[in-house]
Amino acid sequence: YLVAQLVMLKKNQGFHMNASIEKYIKDGKYQKFNNNSGGVWLDLPYSEILQAFSHFSWVYSNYRHLVVDVQGWVIGKKIILTDPVVHARKNLLGFGRTNMGEKGTKFFIDSHECGETCKKLGLDNDSFFDKFPSVFRFELANQEKDRQELLKAKNNNKNKN
């Protein structure tokens, strides 16, 4: 992944805005391999490997984080990835607004089919469901409500400062 820098842009009267910046890539072809709501582009070179990367992130993180929205530049046999999304089971605000938590994870699970790379890594579709106990019955129904409450509390704290 490209290394991103966080910069604070200051304006008049104390207003500021945060932005992230990355190195400009002028070579190669920009491609999106999957997104944060279950979209998958399997017809692209290297896509099957990058879908396995998303699956691997879920298993390797002990079923807590799923890296999706895999996109970047393909330059020959090299891939430079940028701007990932992490769906986290517990920390709804820790990875930004695009973190859809368990709902986003379910989107990926529903669209993912293990390929050759998953099999070589010892991953299979059962590894998703083994560590997802009753989530969809109880937690998913309340997750968006909890997320909105957390955002509201965070905004209230900002306004107090």
**pLDDT interval class at 137 (50, 70, 90):** very low
Which residues, listed in sequence order, are joined to residue 82 by a DSSP beta bridge? 71
Per-residue model confidence (pLDDT) at position 47 = 94
119-130 mean pLDDT:
74
Per-residue model confidence (pLDDT) at position 13 = 66
Structure-token pair, residue 109: 């699970």
Per-residue model confidence (pLDDT) at position 93 = 67
For residue 150, pLDDT over 50 is answered with yes
**pLDDT interval class at 48 (50, 70, 90):** very high
pLDDT in tens, 79-115: 999 989 999 987 666 788 888 988 898 899 889 989 9
Which position has the token pair 């379910």? 106
Q: How far apart are CA 122 and CA 29, in angstroms?
A: 31
111-124 mean pLDDT:
90
pLDDT in tens, 13-43: 666 777 778 888 889 999 999 999 999 999 9
For residue 135, pLDDT over 60 is answered with no
Report helix, strand or coil for 11.
coil
Q: DSSP secondary structure string, 73-112? A: EEETTEEEEE--EEEESS-SSTT-TT--HHHHHHHHHHH-
